Structure 1
Amino acid sequence: MPWYAWLIIILALGSIVGSLLLLRDSATKLPLSAEQLKRIKERNIEQNARDARDD
Protein backbone atom coordinates (compact mmCIF):
# COMPACT_ATOMS: atom_id res chain seq x y z
CA MET A 1 0.00 0.00 0.00
CA PRO A 2 1.38 3.46 -0.82
CA TRP A 3 2.46 5.79 1.96
CA TYR A 4 -0.42 8.22 1.43
CA ALA A 5 -2.99 5.47 1.98
CA TRP A 6 -1.41 4.73 5.36
CA LEU A 7 -1.47 8.45 6.11
CA ILE A 8 -5.20 8.65 5.37
CA ILE A 9 -5.89 5.59 7.55
CA ILE A 10 -3.87 7.05 10.44
CA LEU A 11 -5.63 10.41 10.13
CA ALA A 12 -9.06 8.76 10.10
CA LEU A 13 -8.28 6.64 13.17
CA GLY A 14 -6.80 9.66 14.95
CA SER A 15 -9.91 11.65 14.20
CA ILE A 16 -12.17 8.92 15.59
CA VAL A 17 -10.11 8.46 18.75
CA GLY A 18 -9.79 12.20 19.27
CA SER A 19 -13.52 12.80 18.96
CA LEU A 20 -14.27 9.94 21.39
CA LEU A 21 -11.85 11.39 23.93
CA LEU A 22 -13.41 14.83 23.51
CA LEU A 23 -16.88 13.37 24.02
CA ARG A 24 -15.74 11.56 27.18
CA ASP A 25 -14.17 14.70 28.61
CA SER A 26 -17.20 16.88 27.91
CA ALA A 27 -19.68 14.46 29.48
CA THR A 28 -21.08 15.62 32.81
CA LYS A 29 -23.12 13.83 35.41
CA LEU A 30 -26.78 14.68 35.78
CA PRO A 31 -27.52 16.33 39.12
CA LEU A 32 -30.50 14.42 40.53
CA SER A 33 -32.38 15.07 43.73
CA ALA A 34 -32.83 12.39 46.38
CA GLU A 35 -36.47 11.97 45.33
CA GLN A 36 -35.53 11.42 41.69
CA LEU A 37 -32.90 8.84 42.66
CA LYS A 38 -35.46 7.04 44.82
CA ARG A 39 -37.97 6.88 41.93
CA ILE A 40 -35.29 5.61 39.54
CA LYS A 41 -34.28 2.86 41.96
CA GLU A 42 -37.93 1.85 42.43
CA ARG A 43 -38.46 1.66 38.66
CA ASN A 44 -35.30 -0.44 38.26
CA ILE A 45 -36.53 -2.88 40.90
CA GLU A 46 -39.93 -3.11 39.20
CA GLN A 47 -38.36 -3.64 35.77
CA ASN A 48 -36.00 -6.32 37.09
CA ALA A 49 -38.98 -8.12 38.63
CA ARG A 50 -40.87 -7.95 35.31
CA ASP A 51 -37.82 -9.23 33.42
CA ALA A 52 -37.37 -12.11 35.85
CA ARG A 53 -41.06 -12.98 35.56
CA ASP A 54 -40.95 -12.89 31.74
CA ASP A 55 -37.94 -15.24 31.47
Structure 2
Amino acid sequence: MIVIAGIVSGAIIGALIAKRRGGKPADLAQHAAAAAMAFGVVAMIATVLIDRLAG
Protein backbone atom coordinates (compact mmCIF):
# COMPACT_ATOMS: atom_id res chain seq x y z
CA MET A 1 0.00 0.00 0.00
CA ILE A 2 2.85 2.37 0.79
CA VAL A 3 4.42 1.67 -2.59
CA ILE A 4 1.22 2.49 -4.48
CA ALA A 5 0.86 5.73 -2.53
CA GLY A 6 4.47 6.59 -3.33
CA ILE A 7 4.02 5.97 -7.03
CA VAL A 8 0.81 8.00 -7.25
CA SER A 9 2.14 10.90 -5.19
CA GLY A 10 5.38 10.88 -7.17
CA ALA A 11 3.50 11.07 -10.46
CA ILE A 12 1.40 13.96 -9.23
CA ILE A 13 4.37 15.86 -7.84
CA GLY A 14 6.42 15.26 -11.00
CA ALA A 15 3.64 16.51 -13.24
CA LEU A 16 3.12 19.59 -11.09
CA ILE A 17 6.83 20.41 -11.19
CA ALA A 18 6.91 20.09 -14.98
CA LYS A 19 3.77 22.22 -15.32
CA ARG A 20 5.22 24.92 -13.07
CA ARG A 21 8.32 25.02 -15.28
CA GLY A 22 6.17 25.50 -18.38
CA GLY A 23 6.57 22.01 -19.80
CA LYS A 24 4.70 20.57 -22.73
CA PRO A 25 2.54 17.44 -22.27
CA ALA A 26 5.47 15.16 -23.09
CA ASP A 27 7.53 16.90 -20.40
CA LEU A 28 4.74 16.41 -17.89
CA ALA A 29 4.58 12.71 -18.72
CA GLN A 30 8.33 12.27 -18.47
CA HIS A 31 8.61 14.11 -15.16
CA ALA A 32 5.61 12.20 -13.79
CA ALA A 33 7.11 8.85 -14.78
CA ALA A 34 10.56 9.64 -13.39
CA ALA A 35 9.23 10.95 -10.09
CA ALA A 36 6.82 8.01 -9.79
CA MET A 37 9.70 5.56 -10.17
CA ALA A 38 11.87 7.43 -7.68
CA PHE A 39 9.11 7.71 -5.10
CA GLY A 40 8.17 4.06 -5.67
CA VAL A 41 11.71 2.90 -4.94
CA VAL A 42 11.88 5.01 -1.78
CA ALA A 43 8.49 3.66 -0.68
CA MET A 44 9.63 0.08 -1.35
CA ILE A 45 12.73 0.60 0.80
CA ALA A 46 10.56 2.11 3.54
CA THR A 47 8.21 -0.87 3.35
CA VAL A 48 11.07 -3.35 3.68
CA LEU A 49 12.56 -1.43 6.61
CA ILE A 50 9.20 -1.25 8.39
CA ASP A 51 8.65 -4.97 7.84
CA ARG A 52 12.12 -5.85 9.14
CA LEU A 53 11.87 -3.62 12.20
CA ALA A 54 8.33 -4.71 13.06
CA GLY A 55 9.34 -8.25 13.47
Q: The TM-score by the shorter chain falls in which range?
A: 0.3 to 0.5
Greater fraction helix: 2
| Structure with greater Cα Rg | 1
